[in-house]
Amino acid sequence: MTMTDYYTLGDPVADTKAPDGPIETRWERRRFGAKLVNPANKRKLTVIVVGTGLAGGSAAATLGELGYQVKSYCYQDSPRRAHSIAAQGGINAAKNYRNDGDSVHRLFYDTVKGGDFRSRESNVHRLAQISVQIIDQCVAQGVPFAREYGGLLDTRSFGGAQVSRTFYARGQTGQQLLLGAYQALERQIAAGTVQMHDRHEMLELIIVDGRARGIVVRDLVTGEISTEFADAVVLASGGYGNVFFLSTNAKGCNVTASWRAHRKGALFANPCYTQIHPTCIPVSGDHQSKLTLMSESLRNDGRVWVPKAKGDTRVPADIPEDERDYYLERIYPAFGNLVPRDIASRAAKNVCDEGRGVGPGGLGVYLDFAAAIGRLGRDAVEAKYGNLFEMYQRITGEDPYSTPMRIYPAVHYTMGGLWVDYDLQSTIPGLFVIGEANFSDHGANRLGASALMQGLADGYFVLPNTIGDYLAAGPFPKLDGENAEVAEARKLVEDRIEKLLSINGDRTVDSFHRELGRIMWEYCGMERTDAGLRKAISEIRELKAEFWQRAKVPGDGEGLNQSLERAGRVADFFELAELMCIDALHREESCGGHFRAESQTEEGEAQRDDDTFSYVAAWEFGGDTPVLHKEDLTFEYVHPSQRSYK
Amino acid sequence: MSLKLRIWRQADARDKGSMVTYQLQNVSPDMSFLEMLDVLNERLTLDGEDPVAFDHDCREGICGMCSLVINGVPHGPEKATTTCQLHMRHFTDGETIDIEPWRAAAFPVVKDLVVDRRAFDKIIQAGGYISAPTGSAPDAHATPVPKADADLAFEAATCIGCGACVAACPNGSGMLFTAAKITHLGLLPQGQPERDTRVIDMINAHDEAGFGGCTNTGECTSVCPKGIPLETIARLNKDYRQALRASS
């Protein structure tokens, strides 16, 4: 098949909302240029926010404080459980409290470069500017960040950054930031500005007269389907890493809200950009249901190695020093064990592909603390990493003080997402997308401690300022179930549920999801090739067809039915998986988390092709043949260079 | 290993419910407890039976969604471990395991092992926050916080809101949960302006939500997966008395 059998080329897209001129003043000028909503009119305007993580929780709380009527939805039993809660490392901010040369410009520069020159300068600069306000906001809310003995905030250097700009709360930064946003949200619920709908799942977007005007939701406890209306809809529904089945995402994380919007016309940008984290606990068997991340900070003191010989099954203690290959130190002498995430991940894959992996199935490498314990003493290592060592022991039953940890890469974050302009509005008027669900700030690779920063920047500061420009034209005409477009959206949901329940086949939904994940990991994971991606697309299509013939979804739609919930999500993952592979197939270059084997330097490093691929790939839904719209990226402030870590 | 599972099955909130026995073979010691239930559910699905409903999400011990009483103990036999982090290597071949939902007046059963914990959100709504609308904050370094206070506040703030404390308490009290938030916010300078109203309002909301009173039994802290200490309740009591005095 030729490329045009997989997709067609549409008109280019442009971000028309970002002002030009000096980058330092763009955000200020955009805010000044945006229309304002009279305070008395705000309470006549309703906004739906889907998802209650850092982006959705902070947005709903802030919109409520501004006086809008907010309706908030999450699939969990409480907004406090969104998966932002599991983020460990920290949050970046250009405070320069350390006087170590940090600045807004440096954070901006590092983020554009770290994203491998596939993000927008305007967006990233705004993110760096806002980062300083986020820390102020969170401290005012009582987020218990780590502090020095003088009572001021502590910071650390993270993910290879040369400045110390990462604020943290032990290994639970995400939890503490999310609880801050959750508490602000609960305050607004008590004040009556936010109506909370937990255990509700968005299953369709309602578009009336070309504007996003509501959603169709299912009450997961009663099974009731209802239509919910608003003047604008905000999706803060997170990333789609669970398309791989095994990932560090929570089990419930899904793409359904984004995918339903995509099917209704919202462009989906750069779906193939996924981040694979190098330090996760390896798979222990066929029963594995999810993967657990071990903080990247472990690489500061742990040494990564595998046996030099293939198929060496000796226990690590029996392998003498000269028969070990400390491959990161060997290949990257300058950065050693601290090379960026994508490089560390791919190197682990390479040694395992050579047959030198360790542990069950040969899919693991050692992360050895013997040298650190020898140098610093066991107590010092315990003080630094004690809680991580305990977690490792709890899961694996092995003691990392006496035997090396085994680690392996796992899917962790998705940089791609729904396309948004500078105002965070999608291509559907009135549909805004924030946090991991959009694509805007991380390019082809996200830096450590930047996900929390982006989620909160979008939710607390960007969206509440930009959405007013859209809402100033409202309130829009009242809607009810009689409206043809509303009735049609509702019927789509009801028909789909009925269809899923009526297949009554002989294979479980999870078994399909596992198989889909295996295909994606194999062909659209750490290393992608033209032939592999073509194979993946055809296998996914076959499996998708089989799913609709053979899936077994027990029970009915009348009450709590967790199998039905999963079936709907997996059905959407099939469609997304196809698009991810098509995106990866068309991007015949390596950049950030996307490594195409055909595009590498002589030393085996990723090779970008700026002449051909310096654009955002924004896909329009088109069934089997999506339509590609390109948004050209231009770099006025940070000049593209090739990364080197040798 | 092979196991005999006795699991609480209840079709919905109105159903009376009962324990149902299942045999499960070929359980690997490396499985997590929830993965063991996944295996059971895969089998029940193929056999045309209704799979067991249970709450879970992150499966790494931080979201607070998983909630099983295992052999009579919330989150099972391992100290400071949520159900999702509990592994089958802690059980023995041929063992009988009882699996039940949280049982407390404030947490009605939704289905099988799933309960409604929104009463916790109600307590937070009553005052479990610092009023700091977005945009109003001074520079983060404007107010230093003594490290000891910040560290203690953090310890209390690690509560994951799972509700094991309530399930373990003979009175069905939510006092450890409430005290953890009172302690977190009350130790910080930013939390002082609302300190008195916070504790009074949160205790009132706690009582209205149907939680029982605290009699210092201490079961709560012994099952808490995050090890929130009993002293937090002493701190709450002190704050409560002070606030009542100040308001009278």
Same domain, B130 and B237: yes
Residue A646: its pLDDT value, please? 72
Asked if residue A48 has pLDDT above 90, the reply is yes
Indicate yes or no: CB of B140 within 8 angstroms of CB of A183: no
Asked if residue A110 has pLDDT above 80, the reply is yes
Rounded to the nearest integer, the mean pLDDT of chain A is 96
Same domain, B90 and B149: no
Same domain, B33 and B73: yes
Q: At what angle do helices B33-46 and A509-523 cross, to 10 degrees?
A: 120
CB of B51 less than 8 A from some CB of A: yes
The three-state secondary structure class of A253 is coil
Residue A470 CB coordination number (10 Å): 21
Same domain, B127 and B98: no
User: What token pair was written down for A488?
Assistant: 């049609």
A144: which chain B residues are within 8 Å (Cβ-Cβ)?
Answer: 150, 153-154, 157, 184, 188
In whole angstroms, give the CA distance from residue B58 to residue A193. Answer: 29
Residue to mutate among A246, A289, A458, with most B CBs inside 10 A, is A289
Residue A16: its pLDDT value, please? 87
| Cα–Cα distance list, B246 to A364, B105, B195, B200, B236 (Å) | 61, 32, 11, 11, 15
User: What token pair was written down for A350?
Assistant: 């390479």
When pLDDT is averaged across residues A575-595 and rounded to a whole number, the result is 97
Residue A58 and residue A182 in contact, taking contact as beta carbons nearer than 8 Å: no
Asked if residue A644 has pLDDT above 80, the reply is no
Residue A605: its pLDDT value, please? 84
Residue B192 and residue B109 in contact, taking contact as beta carbons nearer than 8 Å: no
DSSP letter, residue A75: S
In whole angstroms, give the CA distance from residue A419 to residue A178. Answer: 25
- A341 catalytic? Reply is yes
CATH code for position B144: 1.10.1060.10
Same domain, B65 and B170: no
Residue A356: its pLDDT value, please? 97
B35: which chain A residues are within 8 Å (Cβ-Cβ)?
Answer: 287-289
Same domain, B182 and B243: yes
Residue A12: its pLDDT value, please? 98
Domain span at residue B100 reads 3-110
Asked if residue A62 has pLDDT above 90, the reply is yes
Residue A347: its pLDDT value, please? 94
Residue B206: its pLDDT value, please? 98
Quickly name the fold that domain A277-411 has: Flavocytochrome C3; Chain A, domain 1 (3.90.700)
When pLDDT is averaged across residues A79-98 and rounded to a whole number, the result is 96
Indicate yes or no: CB of B134 within 8 angstroms of CB of A464: yes
When pLDDT is averaged across residues A619-625 and rounded to a whole number, the result is 95
Among partner residues B31, B110, B128, which is closest to A560 by beta-carbon distance?
Answer: B110
Residue whose C-alpha is closest to residue A145's, from B159, B134, B148, B154 = B154
Listed in sequence order, the residues at least 6 apart from A179 whose beta carbon sits closer than 8 Å to its beta carbon are: A80, A85, A143, B157
CB of B229 less than 8 A from some CB of A: no
Q: Which of B110, B130, B155 is the last residue of a domain?
A: B110
Same domain, B127 and B49: no
Residue whose C-alpha is closest to residue B32's, from A389, A359, A289, A292 = A289
In whole angstroms, give the CA distance from residue A461 to residue A164. Answer: 24
Domain boundaries, chain A: 277-411, 484-613
State the complex-level ipTM: 0.98
Window B:131-160, CB contacts with A under 8 Å: 131-141, 143-147, 150-151, 153-154, 157-158, 160
In whole angstroms, give the CA distance from residue A25 to residue A154. Answer: 30
Q: Which of B110, B131, B155 is the last residue of a domain?
A: B110
pLDDT digits (tens, 9 = 90+) for A288-333: 999 999 988 898 899 999 999 999 999 999 999 999 999 999 999 9
Residue whose C-alpha is closest to residue A479's, from A231, A229, A232, A233 = A229
Among partner residues B48, B64, B139, which is closest to A81 by beta-carbon distance?
Answer: B64
Same domain, B79 and B125: no
Same domain, B60 and B142: no
User: What token pair was written down for B61?
Assistant: 């011990």
Which amino acid is present at B9?
R
- Which residue reads 């709560």 in tokens? B220
Q: Which of A341, A356, A490, A587 is catalytic?
A: A341
In whole angstroms, give the CA distance from residue A564 to residue A497. Answer: 8
Max CA distance (Å), chain B: 64
**How many domains, in total, are found in chain B?**
2
Residue A499: its pLDDT value, please? 98
Q: How many helices (H) and strands (E) does chain B have?
A: 8, 7
pLDDT averaged per 10 residues in sequence order, chain B, 248 residues: 98 97 97 98 97 98 97 97 97 98 98 98 98 97 97 97 98 98 98 98 98 97 97 98 94
Indicate yes or no: CB of A149 within 8 angstroms of CB of B147: yes
User: What token pair was written down for A589?
Assistant: 């270059």
A559: which chain B residues are within 8 Å (Cβ-Cβ)?
Answer: 11-12, 111
Same domain, B140 and B242: yes
Asked if residue A468 has pLDDT above 80, the reply is yes
Listed in sequence order, the residues at least 6 apart from B245 whose beta carbon sits closer than 8 Å to its beta carbon are: none
Among partner residues B31, B134, B140, which is closest to A153 by beta-carbon distance?
Answer: B140
Residue whose C-alpha is closest to residue A305's, from A291, A293, A323, A292 = A323
Q: Report the chain B residue with the minimal C-alpha distance to residue A509.
A: B42
Q: Report the chain B residue with the minimal C-alpha distance to residue A183.
A: B129
Same domain, B236 and B130: yes
pTM score: 0.98
Asked if residue A4 has pLDDT above 80, the reply is yes
Same domain, B157 and B51: no
Q: Which of B110, B142, B169 is the last residue of a domain?
A: B110
Q: What is the CATH number of domain A484-613?
A: 1.20.58.100
The three-state secondary structure class of B203 is helix
Rounded to the nearest integer, the mean pLDDT of chain B is 97
CATH code for position B81: 3.10.20.30
pLDDT classification of A339: cutoffs 50, 70, 90: confident
Residue A1: its pLDDT value, please? 80
Rg of chain B in Å (alpha carbons): 20
When pLDDT is averaged across residues A147-174 and rounded to a whole number, the result is 91
pLDDT digits (tens, 9 = 90+) for A386-425: 888 998 999 999 999 999 999 999 999 999 999 999 999 9
In whole angstroms, give the CA distance from residue A308 to residue A289. Answer: 31
Residue B247: its pLDDT value, please? 87
Q: Report the chain B residue with the minimal C-alpha distance to residue A556.
A: B50
Indicate yes or no: CB of A287 within 8 angstroms of CB of B31: yes
- Which residue reads 């807004």 in tokens? A104
Indicate yes or no: CB of B134 within 8 angstroms of CB of A460: yes
Residue A592: its pLDDT value, please? 92
Q: Report the chain B residue with the minimal C-alpha distance to residue A169.
A: B154
Q: Report the chain B residue with the minimal C-alpha distance to residue A457.
A: B134
User: What token pair was written down for A643?
Assistant: 């990364």
